[in-house]
Every structure is written in C-alpha cells, then in structure tokens.
Amino acid sequence: MSESELDPRFDRQVRFAPLGLEGQRRLGASSVLIVGCGALGGALALQLVRSGVGRIRLVDRDVVELTNLPRQVLFEPGHVGRPKAAAARESLARIGGPSQVEACAEHLDADNIAELARGVDLVLDGTDNLATRYLVNDFCVERGLPWVYGGVVGASGLVLPIVPGASACLRCVFPDPPPAGSLPTCDTAGVILPAVAAIAALQCGAALRLLSAARESWRAHRSRLIELDVWNLESHTLDAARDPACPCCAERRFEFLDAGAGGATVSLCGRNTVQVRPALRANVELEPLAARLSASVLDLALRDGVLSFRAEDKRFTVFRDGRALIEGLDDAVRARALYDRFLGS
C-alpha cells in the first residue's frame, strides 16, 4: 500500500510506527471472529471497525435487554428485544469505513464452530461463559489459530493472548473449568463499564498487534496473563509458561471439541432465562410457525429473522436454527416442556 492508497481516516494510526502502512494493509486484509457481542464483544467490534480490520464476523445467541445498556456500548433502548448480533451490526454500520461486518444470531458450539470460524485469522473472546472458552481454545489450538481470551467481573478482569505452538494455551494456565456456580458472575457480583472497556482495549491491542504483523513473527509471541482492576487501580502481569503436560496443546486431546453439542438444554447465567435447543439441528421455517402460533400466543412478532411471542407468562424468542430463549423461569425441565409444547422438537 502506498501513501496515496491509504484511506485518509487512518492517518494517525499509520503514523504509529509499530503499525505503519504495511501493518494497516494487513489489518485491512484480515478477518476476525468475535464470539459473543455483548459487553466485551461490542467494545471489541467497535475498536476493530474503527481500526479498519477488513472482515468481522459477530456471533451471539442472545437478545438485547434493558440491563445491558450501561455497559454494552453498541446498544440503545430501541434495540431491546432484538438479536444482539443484528443490532450490533446496525450500530457498526453507522461508523462507516472499509470493514465488512457479518452478523450470526447463533449459539456457537462444537458442531458449528468450524463453519463460523471459516476463513478467519484470529478469534476474539467476548463470551460470558467458560464452556465456550474451552471449546474455542480446543478449536484454535487444533487449527493453529490465535485467539485472545478476555473475562470481566465487577471492576476487574483478565486477558491472555494465545498463539498456538508459540505460547501457553488456556488449559496450560487454567487446566480445567471450575465447577458451575463456583465463581462470581456478572449476575451475582455485577460489572462496571470501565472494567469492560479496559479489558476489551487490552484484547484489541493484542489482536491489532498480531494481525498487523507478518505471520512468521507469530512464532516469537510471548504469553502474558494480565489482570487489571479499574477500581483499586491495580494491575499484575504474569509470564504464562506452556505446560509440557497440557492435555490440549501438548497432548492434543480436544475434549471440549470432541464432546459435541448434542441436544442439550442450557440454562443461562442466572437471569431467569433458559435456552433450549432442538435435539436435531435443523433450520426452522419461522413464517409458517408464526402462522400456526398466531391463535394461541400473545405479542407475536417476526423481525430480523427472529420470532418472539408470549405464552404462559413467559417470553419466547425463537431463532432460525431452532433454538429458543424462554424468559421467566429457571427450571430447565419446565423450559424443555414449554418448548416442546409450543415449538415441537
């Protein structure tokens, strides 16, 4: 890229010598998958689009809620009830610039991760759950794809950029996911925007550095685990060493990838909502389904490829891949029963 080919909007970042014109050209030719586009994912997408990363694929299974607005920077009150991926894409389009943004309102799992990550150079973690992170780690180590772990609770968070083959992976540092319910979550301990913004910034810095560098230089990547607290103004950086007995990157056993997705019912993060998936993955024709339900449910709406309605005092959001979010209960069995009753399985 010569100076005359440069989009003038990137003038100041190209003047940053470690990036430069060549680095900007590589950013423009890069493709990134962002898993989850809520708090972290939204902040990550915003930074990648403004920085001129060429292609960005957003994957998120959820819909926007009022309580998201204080920290999920891409959403506004008019987005409440809409799929996060579609709402995020709409906000990102207003920024302009050369980035192409693709929105997938899907639940990323072992069955579809290869398809959702097709053609990407790097994966960014914007998820809210450890199961997905261990799956992403397995997939990225297996494929030799760099990814950047990020997590936030309360006023603090962690970042670990991972370059398979060169640096520690997630399981070198945290060998197994902790048991469910054993760690604080954003629903129990809360979370504040400055912590989200700080962690997303560190993740994005690591991503831009990798994407703007020659791929051969990735072999020299040094792993660092960074912990940051924006309330007490504390930070720690640890050198993360590879574990020669790591089940994932040393022994190459990909337990989370191999476990498959199955037809599991997943209870979401303690906010009175259960996600139900069909036993067999199959696309649902939402228009005829809406017609079938019209006489028996309330507030039926089909928008952005998502069907929503109320029934039995619960709010249902149904996606084309057959998943449903059922709000207003915590009981997975009851949720499965309601799913079967209204949607069949």
Catalytic positions: 186
State which of positions 44-103 bind Zn ion (CB under 5 A).
none
Q: Which H or E run contains 26?
A: helix 20-28
| Closest distance to Zn ion from the beta carbon of 159 (Å) | 17
| Closest distance to Zn ion from the beta carbon of 237 (Å) | 19
x/- mask, Zn ion, residues 143-182, rule CB under 5 A, reads --------------------------x-xx----------
User: CA-CA distance, 331 to 52, in Å (whole number)?
Assistant: 44
Q: Choose between 169 and 338: whose C-beta lies nearer to Zn ion.
A: 169
Q: Choose between 96 and 165: whose C-beta lies nearer to Zn ion.
A: 165
Three-class DSSP labels, 135-173: HHHHHHHHHCCCEEEEEEEECEEEEEEECCCCCCCHHHH
* Distance from the first to the final alpha carbon of the chain: 53
Q: Choose between 91 and 137: whose C-beta lies nearer to Zn ion.
A: 137
User: CA-CA distance, 254 to 31, in Å (whole number)?
Assistant: 24
Contacts of residues 65-72 at CB distance under 8 Å and 24 or more positions apart, as own/partner, are: 68/38, 68/39, 70/193, 71/39, 71/191, 71/192, 71/193, 71/196, 72/38, 72/39, 72/42
Q: Choose between 186 and 249: whose C-beta lies nearer to Zn ion.
A: 249
Report yes or no: 32 and 48 within 8 Å, Cβ to Cβ.
yes
Q: Residues in contact with Zn ion, total (CB under 5 A)?
A: 6
Query: Is 136 near Zn ion (CB under 5 A)?
Result: no
Q: Which H or E run contains 34?
A: strand 31-35
x/- mask, Zn ion, residues 191-220, rule CB under 5 A, reads ------------------------------
Q: Residue from 246, 274, 276, 324 that binds Zn ion (CB under 5 A)?
A: 246
| Closest distance to Zn ion from the beta carbon of 222 (Å) | 15
Binding residues (CB under 5 A) for Zn ion: these are 169, 171-172, 246, 248-249
